[in-house]
Amino acid sequence: RGSSFARGLDGEGIPWRLVAEYSGGGLVMDMGCHVLDRIDYLFGPVVDVKSEVLRKGAVGDGGEEEGSYPLVEDYVSMNGRIGQCDWAVISSEGAIVECLWDFSPPDKNNEKNDEDELIITGTNGSLRMAGMGAGLPIEVLDVDGNVIETIEFEAPMHAAQPLIQSIVNELRGVDSDEEEERQQQQHYLGKSPARAENAIRTSEVLDAILNSYYGGRHDEFW
């Protein structure tokens, strides 16, 4: 679950992240993709996707259409389930996936607090963590929702650097003893976990989510 307001709308023009021709859609393409990618990587492919996609912020307080508001969606609710795979950390086939992203602006009558939460629920409890924020604690909860452990760690200076470095190393074919030792010291270990198949599946889920809003995702526009 994520809730925030798109930044950059107070200047001239609309940011490229909110122009479908450049970004493929709204902020769910920029931020929601990482959550879906993580779910796929840990538990398996998301299948049987159903969604509700809206452009809530386009209507002003008086009910009129806001002509300067971005044309992309700003509210996405989706559900699906985990499909069959052979790479899941724990067998999860059939598990329910529910996601909500709300990037619409707050109205005058209601305060809107930013939210960033990913909850993984199992038979004996759950894990609660940030969906996007790097370095925030992970909470372990029992079946009644009580926190029984908090796992904290230091936020990396650059959250994506270890992954990017491992990809670069793999593309370069780095395999010398000296470079391997340096990688181990800096925690850039072995083969990159980033695989194209994972990214393709995530892209297909996003297309399924946004398909009805854009009237298709495979015509000449895309």
**For the range 65-71, what are the long-range contacts, defined as Cβ-Cβ under 8 Å and sequence gap of 24 or more?**
69/9, 70/6, 70/9, 70/14, 70/18, 70/19, 70/26, 71/20
In this structure, what are the phi and psi dihedrals at residue 22, rounded to the nearest 5 degrees?
Answer: -100, -40
Are the CB atoms for 18 and 70 separated by under 8 Å? yes
pLDDT at res. 177: 53
Q: Is the four-CA dihedral 82, 86, 88, 89 of positive or negative sign?
A: positive
pLDDT tens-digit map of 166-211? 888 888 887 645 555 565 555 555 678 888 899 999 999 999 999 9
Lowest mean per-residue pLDDT among 15-24, 54-63, 144-153: 54-63
pLDDT tens-digit map of 45-98? 999 999 999 998 876 555 555 567 888 999 999 999 999 999 998 899 999 999
pLDDT at res. 176: 47
pLDDT at res. 193: 81
Tokens of 50: 């159903």
pLDDT tens-digit map of 119-133? 999 999 999 999 887
Mean pLDDT of 153-169: 81
> Does the predicted TM-score (pTM) go above 0.95?
no
Of residues 17 and 64, which shows the higher confidence score?
17
Residue 12 above 50 pLDDT?
Answer: yes
Lowest mean per-residue pLDDT among 109-113, 115-119, 167-171, 210-214: 109-113
Identity of the residue numbered 155: A
pLDDT at res. 155: 77
Nearest residue to 1 via CA among 116, 110, 165: 116
Are the CB atoms for 32 and 101 separated by under 8 Å? yes
Mapped onto helix, strand or coil, the DSSP state of residue 157 is coil
pLDDT at res. 108: 66
Which of 99-103, 108-112, 191-195 shows the highest mean pLDDT? Answer: 99-103
Lowest mean per-residue pLDDT among 3-12, 91-100, 138-147: 3-12
In this structure, what are the phi and psi dihedrals at residue 94, rounded to the nearest 5 degrees?
Answer: 95, -10
pLDDT at res. 195: 85
Measure the CA–CA gap between 73 and 25, rounded to whole angstroms: 7
